[in-house]
Chains A and B, each alone.
Chain A
Amino acid sequence: SQQGEEDPQALSIQEGENATMNCSYKTSINNLQWYRQNSGRGLVHLILIRSNEREKHSGRLRVTLDTSKKSSSLLITASRAADTASYFCATDARLSASYGKLTFGQGTILTVHP
């Protein structure tokens, strides 16, 4: 089963607005990553946050991690039409059976209207 669950499944906003996507997971993790995927193509790595970090910034991206709630959020500020894509969270779990494996959420489809 998927460890990560993302919310919302789809988000539609106007250019310039902020977009917030949430991810929840079930087990203890080493780190959590966010990826973007355009039109069913390859994954583009956005940001990695380690389990001992609470917040991380990269350009217009802000990621938070709450390990007590097993949740993370991705905020894209001042969105652009080019941000239209699917966004996935992925966790690297602290389980021997999960060694070497990322578990992805189902993703949020973001549409930014010009």
Chain B
Amino acid sequence: EAGVTQSPTHLIKTRGQQATLRCSPISGHTSVYWYQQALGLGLQFLLWYDEGEERNRGNFPPRFSGRQFPNYSSELNVNALELEDSALYLCASSLGADTFGSGTRLTVV
């Protein structure tokens, strides 16, 4: 059984651009959770999608948004990128067990 997959592994963007990160949950899981791990700030909860709807949101500005598709995969979009958005973005498909992906490292220059 495939685990949670994220793409791309690395992403380099220029300040002001938009970034799109993708996550596919474990087969049969309907939820996707997004977390940001920025240097010095630890792991912060971003968004939770379940059955195609946003269920909860962390303390992030509206330029962080996403969606979940009918196959339960998800996209995280970050608009108007700022330097401080540079971080490792992790997604998970449940809140326990080995359900985190390997992450996308976003670098904003």
Q: Which residues of A approach B to under 8 Å, CB–CB?
A: 2, 31, 33, 35, 40-45, 48, 88, 90, 92, 97-107
Contact = CB atoms under 8 A, between A and B. Distances in A.
B108 interface: no
B101 A42 contact: yes
B100 A42 contact: yes
B103 A42 contact: yes
Given A40-B88, A100-B48, A45 B99 contact: yes
| The 4 residue pairs across chains A and B that have the minimum distance between CB atoms | A104-B43, A42-B102, A43-B100, A100-B48
Contact of A101 (B48, B50, B102): B48
A61 to B, nearest CB: 15
B31 A45 contact: no
Interface residues of B, number: 26
Interface stretch (B63-71, B72-80, B90-98): B90-98
B60 to A, nearest CB: 12
Nearest to B100: A43
Contacts of B55: 99-100
Given A33-B96, A42-B103, A43-B100, A101 B45 contact: yes
Nearest to A88: B43
Contacts of A44: 98, 100
Given A42-B103, A100-B50, A100-B55, A107 B42 contact: yes
11 contacts: A43-B92, A44-B100, A48-B96, A88-B43, A92-B95, A98-B56, A100-B48, A100-B55, A100-B56, A100-B95, A102-B33
B90 A43 contact: yes
A102 B46 CA distance: 10
Given A101-B58, A102-B45, A105-B42, 10 more contacts: A35-B100, A40-B37, A40-B105, A41-B102, A42-B101, A45-B97, A45-B99, A100-B50, A100-B55, A101-B48
A45 B90 CA distance: 13
A102 B47 CA distance: 11
B31 A100 contact: yes
